[in-house]
Homo-oligomer: A and B are copies of this chain.
Amino acid sequence: MVNFINGGVCAAQGFQAAGIHVGVKTHAEWKKDVALIVSDVECAAAAVFTKNVVKAAPIRVDLQHLADGKARAIIANSGNANACAPQGEENAERMCAAAAKAIGCKPEDVIVSSTGVIGQRINVEAIEEGVPALYAALERSDAASDAAGHAIMTTDLVKKEAAVETTVGGKTVRIGGIAKGSGMIHPNMGTMLCFLTTDCAISPAMIKAALLETVGVSFNRISVDGDTSTNDTCCVLANGLAGNETITAKGPDYGAFVEALKALCTELAKRMASDGEGARHLITCTVSGGASEKSAEAIAKSVISSTLTKAAIFGADANWGRVLCAMGYSGEEFDPDKVTVNFASAAGSIQVCAQGRGLDFDEDLAKKILTEHDIEINIALEEGGACCTCWGCDITYDYIKINGDYRT
């Protein structure tokens, strides 16, 4: 039984957070740009990172810091990705060292993350100078999680934060998280930035297994623009303060924890898709009757990634031909003559294609359905019993506007 609760990274016991402006973002002094998340005690820690061959400097540093499966804190900035940038790793290490000095832990126990423009030297001096104030701002509150959540935003319009509660081994366990998404979102392993905290007692090996399993069915099932970032990171800290018997193997406790972790990450993933750069619609595409879950996932992902389908949804155009076209180039085999497609939203549901052929349908109703914010594209195949849901967003004038002049 998983329940959503208020809060984010401070929802679990023993975590503090803060977010302030130190000057990485030079064009908007009122915008927070550095976040800090600290556990009272050492945590089992795991992270998944982008599969992009071009990996940002913080990721290279984190791979070393996470080698022992332990961490105490996360420092993250927006405004500069520290990717392909001069002195990248040196500066990422300096961020860790500054945080470690304030907290009183080893630099190796700090995870570092960056997001923003690629290729420019990060203003690490501003961060170093700001860390004492950042540390002083630490709080164990929803407001503190909110501040941290804001500090990692770039073109995001909405802060993404959520928390869940479940029972593991008879103890109440909480997991909370903050995330940022918006552009360059087509995760291939980890994703954008997402920081999760939990008080569950769980071994480094099992928290890693839980994270991998979860990311595969949540963040890896969304796409905003097909661009897999150089900085994708999803990191979880588990400090064990819930007092449950430490999870060291798969079993009921692990199952309960993963169920909660998946519920949380799916919610955060959907919010990322919904707040995709310039987006006006959240598109939920479900493929049922697939030959396998992998096949259903590939088809659903192809549909939500199709620029033409995204443009059709922007135009509230029930252009199901583009849906079939995108299914067809997914790389998966299926019988196009046995495809059913339905568009649905709070305004109703309409079947537009059966047996791979167009149906006469009420264009006015279709327009009404597609004018809602949350749109479903439901696809039924006759290949087998597998099902998968992926999330995306439409492509709009604003996406072009935002990305036609992001750097300058």
Contacts and interface: CB of A to CB of B under 8 A. Distances in A.
A117 B306 CA distance: 16
Contact of A317 (B55, B120, B314, B407): B407
A68 interface: no
Contact of A400 (B230, B357, B363, B396): B396
A229 B325 contact: yes
A399 interface: yes
Nearest to A333: B53
Interface in A341-359: 353, 356-358
B407 A119 contact: no
Interface string A28-68: 00000000000000000000000111110000000000000
- The number of times this chain is found in the oligomer is 2
Interface stretch (A83-91, A102-110, A173-181, A210-218): A83-91
Contacts of A229: 325
B400 A53 contact: no
A306 B186 CA distance: 11
Given A184-B308, A325-B118, A85 B52 contact: no
A397 B314 CA distance: 12
Interface stretch (A93-101, A220-228, A255-263, A283-291): A220-228
Interface residues on A, range: 35 or more
Contacts of A358: 84-86, 119-120
24 contacts: A51-B329, A53-B327, A53-B329, A54-B327, A54-B356, A55-B328, A84-B353, A86-B358, A118-B322, A119-B321, A119-B357, A184-B325, A226-B226, A227-B326, A227-B329, A228-B328, A228-B329, A312-B403, A317-B408, A318-B407, A319-B406, A319-B407, A397-B401, A399-B400
B311 A403 contact: yes
A306 B226 contact: yes
A118 B324 contact: yes
A295 to B, nearest CB: 12
Nearest to A313: B404
A245 to B, nearest CB: 41
B314 A230 contact: no
